[in-house]
Structure 1
Amino acid sequence: MKLIRLVGLVSSVLIGQMPSVIYAAEVFSAAESPVSKDDDALFQDIPSVYDASKYDQKVTKAPPGSTSVVTADEIKKWGYRTFGDVLNSLKGFYNTNDRNYGYAGARGFGLPSDYNSRLLLMIDGHRINNNIFDSFDTSEGFPVDLNVIDRIEVIRGPSSSLYGTNAFFGVINIITKRGRDQQGANVNASYGSNNAYKTNVSYGDRFKNGLETFISGTFYNSDGFKNLYYNEFDSPTTNNGWSVGNDAEQSRKLIAKAAFGDFSIEGVFSKRYKDIPTASFGTVFNSHELRTADETTFVEFKYDHTFENQLNLKSKLSYNHIRYAGIYPANYGTPDLPNVVLNQDMANGEWWRADLEANKVIFEDHRISMGGQFQDNFHQNQTNYDLETYLDVKAKTYQWGIFLQDDYEITKSLSLNAGVRYDYFSTYGDTLNPRAGLTYKPWESSAIKLLYGTAFRAPNQFELNYTSSNIRHSQDLKPERLQTLELILEHNFTSQLRAEFNLFKTDINDIILSKSVGDGFTQYQNAANVDSHGVEVQLENNWLNGWQGRISYSWQQTKDKATHQVLNNSPEHMVKFNLIAPLWADKVFLGFETQYMSGRRTRDDGDILHSHNIDDHVVSNLTVFTQKWIKGLELSGGVYNLFDQRYLDPTSAAFKQDGIPQDSLTFRVKASLDF
């Protein structure tokens, strides 16, 4: 009943367009909101996406897959604090957190603590998934601050035919601001619950000689929740279940970029420290020494030129570095050993990467894209030790791939997108992945897409080589493989009202999981095959007077083929509603969102595939944003988990807890000044 009432309420709001309230808004906004009567205006505000086909396309020009674009303006008005907040608002995506890292789930697949290796993340087209864990963090460990983002492009579905490994369930490209977007300096600061404060300083401009620069630095610090209770540790020997003062966090981020003509350079650095209150991996509970540190660095040189014959050529060369260090206090319970032993867990990865891509329209109705990449992983080092050394691996590997794609406009209303990519990995060999999409546009405002695609995820160095006091070395790991068939229906009812319907069927084979092998040991194995199918529906409206709304519903079932059990952390139902309401012309806005998620299974006795359910939940967030009262000044205040919903996120075998309690009601205030 909770789900039905929520769907009914938000649907009536969006479709009915709240006539009485909108009338009041129009009184304030009439001077700023002229209505275009030109039919050509139907698609004028629809954003472009690049990562769907490796060249710019309007969303309505039917790039392969279901697409979403989140703008800097939406990030501000909905008060998003982390990349995980953004993902939680998008159709089919969900974010979980174990109070150390944030994890993204997509279309019902989000095994706890999988380190996001089944989504490809890029920053300005640069691959972020690293060469040891294939990972990225959706919380404060995300490499760039949300203040420097111009827009976020999300493409759902397999994209290995263009991008190779990790493009399993989708591709996310973070487009950061350029000098022309900033045109001067900006200082912004925020303060919130748990003594959380952030400062960001940016400068950017485009000069008369054509040089364009942008630089931004961010510092964040939070004390975290002072007291966190875990029932599983409710014993006098473990402080009666209370973890006190073990949730602090700190991060530093820097991005710098410059462009002149066809040449550009970009560098990103981020470092994050996080205390861990959960006693994960069997560590000592309520220890002030349990923490992780993560560092990401890359520098990339780019050349992008379009010749007179309209051949576009892009080349990139980058240096990349990641570093991870974890301190895990352990008590081995042996009389002749110290009460607490500090286990040191470290990883250090470095790699060079070169990319070359070209695309050109030939014969008027074919756009050919082709290219290749080479990656030299010259440092893939992992270490784990305390009283003895369990792991000391210094690996070197390489990988390369080539792709070819044709966008063929068969008629004005029918087009075919077909591509294939070949990849070779020195660790296991080669793989070939095709993708094809047929798009029919019966009207300019509608599109019907039928898509077939395959994808793979190569076993990473952590899965291949990691060993410890309770983890055995893996044997003969194979890549994970995926096949998807998807039907997408899109229709623009008006220049503001757009609907999308998705029906998908996905088969996933050879999923790599940590499995028990007896004697208290686990091992990474190709341990499961999964069937996933579902439906997604979305309706969004952008009114001319500044109102903006979106509602989506997702239904999916993701099951183990052998047991027919639903996977862990796989919600069957998700409903999401987002609204931006102009309270005073274009000066004051209310941003509201609410998200429903059905119950999910969580791990049981170390089995991360099958176990029991945790409850469903509804979380709502509210933000008031104001601008243009004083030139260059923006102010906002947000309340998160508005109704103080108490809920859990599922856990992996690394935890004693069945679920990790998520944040209760929190707040944040923020000020931003351009000058």
Structure 2
Amino acid sequence: MSSPVLRICLTAALLFPGAAVLAQNPSEEEELTLVYGDNDSISIATGNVQSLRRAPAVATVITAADIAAMGATDLDQVLEGVPGVHVNRSANNYAPLYVVRGIFSQFTPQLLMLQNGVPITTVFVGNKGNLWGGYPVEHIARIEIIRGPGSALYGSDAFSGVINIITKNAADTPGTEFGLRAGSFNTKDAWVQHGGQWGDIDVAAYLRVGRSDGMDPVIEADAASRNDRLFGTRVSRAPGAVNTGRDAVDANLDLSRGKLRARFGYKLRDKLGTGAGIASALDPVGQQKSERITSNISWTDAQFAPDWGVGAAVSTQQYKQTITTDFQLLPPGTVLPTGAFPNGMIGGPDYGERNVRLAAYADYSGFARHQIRIGAGYEDLDLYRARETRNFRYAPNGAPIPLPSVVDVSDSDPFIRPHRRKIKYVFVQDEWRMAKDWTLTAGVRHDRYSDFGTTTNPRLALVWDATYNMTAKLLYGRAFRAPSFSESYGITNPVALGNPGLRPEKNGTLEAVFAWQAANDAQVNLSLYRYSMQDIIRTVPNAIAGTGATYSNTGSQKGSGAELETIWHLNRAWRLSGNYAFQRSIDKLTGRDAGYVPRHHLYGRADWQFISGYLLSTQLNWVAGRRRAAGDLRPAIDDYKTVDLSLSTQRGRQQWNFSASVRNLFNTDAREPSLAPGLAIPNDLPMAPRAFSIQASYRM
């Protein structure tokens, strides 16, 4: 890490809030808690609720009140403001890619996403699902984010970080609330949520229905444009708008009685557009549907016996991806060296998954100064269905050869066949209060996979309360990412053949953290880190020329960075917050920047309660220093700055609440990088132009 950057971070940490800020009186503190929520505790760092400042991790907590204050309507908008996190985009469906500390790949499976502590990973790609279609925020109680490895507690995919979305319970949403929202791109949403009791059962329920035509920035040239130049045709739809429309239904039900709790979730995305095209060629015809059904039944008893607390849970996820209207991978009239596609190159891959997870743990506090947690679990991940239709077959080198019509190849030549993975794991963790101001957390988890074997991942975290207002942490952890089913078992496309012999990706990270309570109303955090990745899964050309490529453990990468964040409550009316992240990730094979992600990311926010009950929030997002990956000869992608404004009433004070926001106020031409070498979409992926939103809610 460059010393100038470190000096800048330390200087800013010392000077920004100042040590002479006056403390608020109790009424002001209550006011701030009402507006921004209580974000001083976290549970995903160890599994137990503890102070955020003393948690053995680099973590951020965002509350429902904070989400409302910033005027966010989708999870993407919330995560972009987290230090060290940037939301990239995939050309495929324009799906968001949550990139933490510069660890990027085509589908970004290196980040683990949880909902109420349960993974929502899809095993086919290894991420949250490519047909994501957004995540609404009305029913989110809080979001807990860990930056850095978490495999010692959470296993696979807790590689660059962990995001846990905690939905509202009965206490979080008392009574019944109705809401409506309308905005740019013909976006309309309606929701209702309720919290209360049915007899002795606490109930929280949520239903949201919405639709949108989606953002529509223009792609100037696509993969079909390149084919036009090569083969003398004129069939590309570029320049043309991306296709990001969707219909959406979200539902959650939370039932709890004593030590027992049951949660159920439903997420439907229908009529989903293909973004910039599944094959990076604009496709206004193809449509998709994803359906996710989740359940989680848990039992916990914190006082099971003297010094003992126990818990157990069973969770399920059913996920289906259906192509309701076949993709036009390339437009009608396409001509390739292998033949012509008068109706376009057409394909429609579907699949379905059923995942079952069992977990149990026990906490023991009978040893002086020790809090020990042991746990075990079993997971059954089943890709039970794969179906495919297309009007082409593949040549040995991966080139598509036209067929006379669209045929069902599900039995003869599918993109993947059903597969099943079973996982058993055990873990142990000890939080040892070594002395009054010192705590050492040590843990290790051992996973056994039915398809590739075992992996063991430890963690160590030393937390020191150096002074009454300064806490220092030294952290080390190892993490792994299991190969996705597409990487291990893909069988049709020679361009990216699966390899059942793949090993998991590995990552080791060392971190130093300083948390300074500069004043009663000012907090500054500085995080420094260094990581090293091995066995990165990438495609490698086959030994016989002209026969395509196969996934292999061939990559390695190292990185380092710094994250500075601060929150300053100037007074009852003003709150300033922001963060700056610097990172540098190097591909060890080429010695060059790994590309795609910003070296510099600055986020700032100013909240002003200019009238009692009204809040104006201004947000600045600066993304800079994105290099091209090896083999990409395009000029560096431009930096960009966007400004967002939100005006809202103060939630919790009245029955009616209103919010209005404008995103990208100055209509900046913000772009995220397309994949190297950039031949398919040379001008990168344009983001949403200026967009407006207005909403109203009524609580009974």
Q: Same fold (TM over 0.5)?
A: yes
The C-alpha deviation readout for 1:585-624, integer Å capped at 9, x for no partner, is 2x1001111111113234687x7xx865211111111100
The code of the aligned residue for 1:216 comes to Y
Q: Secondary structure in 1 aligned to 2:279? A: helix
Which of 4, 17, 22 aligns to 1:15? It is: 17
Whether the aligned pair in 2 keeps the contact of 1:421 and 1:433 (CA below 8 Å) is: yes
CA distance in 2, matches of 1:349, 1:179: 31
Distance 1:572 1:152 in 2: 25
Whether the 8 Å CA contact 1:271–1:293 is kept in 2: the answer is yes
Any idea what SS the aligned residue of 1:117 has? coil
CA–CA distance in 1 between the matches of 2:25 and 2:432?
44
Instruction: Select the residue among 593, 597, 601 that pairs with 1:574.
Output: 601
Gaps of 5+ in 2: 32-36, 392-408
Residue 238 of structure 2 is aligned to residue 241 of structure 1: yes
Q: Partners in 2 of 1:403 and 1:279 — Cα distance?
A: 43
Could you tell me which residue of structure 2 aligns to residue 263 of structure 1? Answer: 260
Aligned equivalents of 2:371, 2:200: Cα separation in 1: 30
What's the offset of the Cα at 1:154? 0.8
Question: CA-to-partner distance for each residue in 1:416-457, whole Å, 9 max, x for gaps?
Answer: 000000001111000111100111112232111111110000
Identical-pair percentage: 22
Question: Are the equivalent residues in 1 in contact too, given 2:538–2:553 (CA < 8 A)?
Answer: yes
- RMSD over equivalenced CA pairs, Å: 3.2
Distance 1:18 1:622 in 2: 30
Determine the structure 2 residue equivalent to 1:154: 145
Give the counterpart of 1:63 among 55, 59, 70. 55
Structure 1 position 80 matched with structure 2 position 107: no
Question: Alignment partner of 2:103: what SS?
Answer: coil
Matched to 1:261, the amino acid is G
Structure-2 separation of matches of 1:439 and 1:12: 21
1:323 to 320, 323, 340: 320
Residue aligned with 1:147, SS: coil
- Please name the residue that 1:212 is paired with: 202
Structure 1: tracts of 5 or more residues without a match:
37-43
Please report the TM-score for the alignment, with normalisation by the length of structure 2. Answer: 0.86
- Is 1:358 aligned to 2:362, yes or no? yes
* 1:296 paired residue among 292, 296, 308: 292
User: Cα distance 1:579–1:539, how it changes in 2: closer, same or farther (>3 A)?
Assistant: same
Kept in 2: contact 1:83–1:139 (CA 8 A): no
Measured in 1, the distance between the counterparts of 2:339 and 2:30 equals: 80
Given candidates 686, 695, 698, the residue that maps to 1:661 is 686
Is the 1:280–1:656 contact (alpha carbons within 8 Å) kept by the matching residues of 2? no
Amino acid at match of 1:537: L
1:343 aligned residue = 347
Q: Pick closer, same or farther for the CA change 1:565–1:603 going to 2, 3 Å.
A: closer
Q: What is the identity, as a one-letter code, of the residue corresponding to 2:284?
A: H
Q: Which residue of 1 aligns with 2:82?
A: 90
Where do residues 377-456 of structure 1 align in structure 2 (5 Å cutoff)? 377-387=381-391, 388=409, 389-456=413-480
- Partner Cα separation in structure 1 for residue 20 and residue 288 of structure 2: 48
Residue 101 of structure 1 and its aligned partner are, at CA, apart by: 0.8
* 2:46 equivalent to 1:53: yes
Of residues 97-106 and 660-669 in structure 1, the stretch that sits farther from structure 2 once superposed is 97-106
| Cα distance per residue 1:64-89 (max 9 Å; x no partner) | 21111101111111111211111100
Determine which of 118, 133, 148 is the counterpart of 2:125.
Answer: 133
Matches of 2:556 and 2:247, distance apart in 1: 39
Helix, strand or coil: the match of 1:289?
coil
Partner letter of residue 204 of structure 2?
F
Cα distance change of structure 1 residues 100 and 547 upon mapping to structure 2, 3 Å threshold: same
Q: 1:640 aligns with which of 663, 688, 691?
A: 663
Partners of 1:324 and 1:77 lie apart in 2 by 35
Tell me the CA shift for residue 382 of structure 1.
Answer: 3.4
Opposite residue 148 of structure 1, the aligned amino acid is H
Matched-pair contact (CA < 8 Å) for 2:622–2:640: yes
After superposition, the Cα gap between the structure-2 partners of 1:328 and 1:525, relative to the gap in structure 1 and judged at 3 Å, is farther
Amino acid at match of 1:223: D
In structure 2, the partner of 1:40 is none
Give the whole-Å Cα distance in 2 for the aligned partners of 1:163 and 1:401.
10
Matched-pair contact (CA < 8 Å) for 1:183–1:206? no
Match of 1:368 in 2: 372
1:263–1:30 CA distance, 2 compared to 1 (3 A): closer
Does 2:193 correspond to 1:169? no
Alignment CA distance shift 1:529-1:257 (3 Å): same
Matched, 1:588 2:595: no
On the 8 A contact 1:583/1:590 being kept in 2, the answer is yes
Match of 1:670 in 2: 695
Contact persistence 1:541–1:548 (CA under 8 A): yes
Q: 1:148 deviation in Å?
A: 0.3
Task: Decide whether aligned partners of structure 1 residues 72 and 521 sit closer, same or farther in structure 2, where only a CA change above 3 A counts.
Answer: same
Q: Which residue of 2 aligns with 1:540?
A: 567
Task: Give distance in 2, aligned partners of 1:390 and 1:130.
Answer: 19
Structure 2 CA distance for partners of 1:536 and 1:646, relative to 1, 3 Å: same
* Contact 2:122 2:129 (C-alpha < 8 Å) held by counterparts: no
Q: Equivalents in 2 of 1:434, 1:134: separation in Å?
A: 22
Structure 2 distance, partners of 1:427, 1:392, is 16
C-alpha displacement of 1:245: 7.8
Give the corresponding residue for 2:97: 103
CA distance in 2, matches of 1:457, 1:463: 12
1:462 aligned counterpart, secondary structure: helix
User: What secondary structure does 1:535 align onto?
Assistant: strand
* Per-residue deviation, 1:150: 0.7
Provide TM-score, normalisation by structure 1: 0.89
The equivalent residue for 1:552 is 579
What corresponds to 2:403 in structure 1?
none
Asked if the contact 2:9/2:564 (under 8 Å) is kept, the reply is no
Q: Deviations over 1:31-74 (max 9, x none)?
A: 953799xxxxxxx95521000001000112x2121111101111
Q: Which of residues 483, 500, 506 is equivalent to 2:525? A: 500
Change (3 A) 1:340 1:566: same
Q: Distance in 2 between matches of 1:440 and 1:13?
A: 23
Match of 1:41 in 2: none
CA distance in 1, matches of 2:415, 2:586: 34
Instruction: Mark the CA change 1:103 to 1:199 in structure 2 (over 3 Å): closer, same or farther.
Output: same
- Is contact 1:603–1:651 with CA below 8 Å preserved after alignment? no
SS in 2 for 1:91: coil
Runs ≥4 in structure 1, deviation > 4 angstroms?
A: 10-14, 16-19, 29-32, 137-140, 232-236, 334-338, 515-518, 602-605
2:186 aligned to which of 174, 179, 195:
195
**One-letter amino acid of the counterpart of residue 457, structure 1:** R
Alpha-carbon distance in structure 1 between the residues aligned to 2:557 and 2:569: 38
Aligned residue for 1:362, secondary structure, equals coil
| Contact 2:486–2:498, Cα closer than 8 Å, also in 1 | no
CA distance in 1, matches of 2:215, 2:564: 37
Would you say the 8 A contact 2:351–2:383 is kept in 1?
A: no
Superposition deviation, residue 486 in structure 1 = 0.8
Deviation at 1:345, TM superposition (A): 1.1
Q: CA deviation at 1:137?
A: 5.7
Change (3 A) 1:663 1:514: farther
- Secondary structure at the aligned position of 2:695 is classed as strand
Which segment drifts farther, 569-578 or 320-329?
A: 320-329
CA positional deviation for 1:361: 1.5
Contact 2:535–2:556 (Cα < 8 Å) also in 1: yes
Offset, 1:175:
1.2
Question: Is 2:588 the counterpart of 1:561?
Answer: yes
1:181: how far off? 1.6
CA 1:82–1:516 in structure 2 vs 1: closer, same or farther (change >3 Å)? Answer: farther
